[in-house]
Amino acid sequence: MNQPSLFSAETLPPELADLGGLLAAHGQVTAASGGARLSILLSQRWRATALVDECVARGIAADAVDAAEVGAAADMYDGILVDAATTLLRTERTEVLELLATDWTRGAVKAVPEALLAGAGLLRLWLIAAGRQTPGGYVLGLDPHAPGTHQRLAAVCARAGLAGAIVGAASDTPVIRLTGRRRLRRLLELVGGPPRGAPGDAWPAQL
């Protein structure tokens, strides 16, 4: 049995900044007088369940709502357009998330923080939100509505030993694609084992 790395998300304490992994993917953050809120649309229920647990581990309440419920009360969800086949995860609105919102926005536009590091916790949440295996590699989903973040996030990954190629930058499903045994082993070392309920193709393979 492999022992978790000392730098794995399974051994490091959870940090609030790890929630930036949702924003590295296609998550959104909104700020109002009552504080800030993170939200993200997810096509698989296991991702929502796992992310609720990750939020709670960081002291942030969150819920996952089925599409039918969201459709009945869409005005409660910050104007997000909800596809009939998705689940919406959203956190509570809280002042605790205001710094995260400030770090990840420039004006009204999502932007990558200047000093962002691809830490183990942030990577784990990014994978849960938008990671999957592909033939010969693994991809991290990017936000198609925030193309200005793509190159910056690729550079952040490269500094963590996870250099990859941006694929589909002009499509609805842009990703950073990682290949090579060394990079994939490094990724798995950082993010630890898959959350409960994750299908086999959702997590980096054990090499």
**d(Cα 60, Cα 36) in Å, to the nearest integer?**
11
pLDDT at 65: 87
pLDDT at 2: 47
Closest CA to 21 of 96, 121, 101, 139: 121
pLDDT at 67: 63
Is the Cβ–Cβ distance between 47 and 129 less than 8 Å? yes
pLDDT at 8: 61
Q: What is the pLDDT of residues 25-39, one digit of tens each?
A: 999 999 998 999 999
* Tokens of residue 135, six digits: 């033939």
**d(Cα 133, Cα 80) in Å, to the nearest integer?**
28
pLDDT at 132: 96
Listed as ranges, residues in the chain with pLDDT below 70 are 1-11, 67-85, 207
* DSSP secondary structure letters along 47-109: HHHHHHHHHHHTT--EEEEEHHHHHHTGGGTTT----TT-EEEEEPPBGGGHHHHHHTEETTE
pLDDT at 86: 78
pLDDT at 157: 98
Burial of 2 (0-12, 13-18, 19+ CB in 10 A): exposed
pLDDT at 9: 61
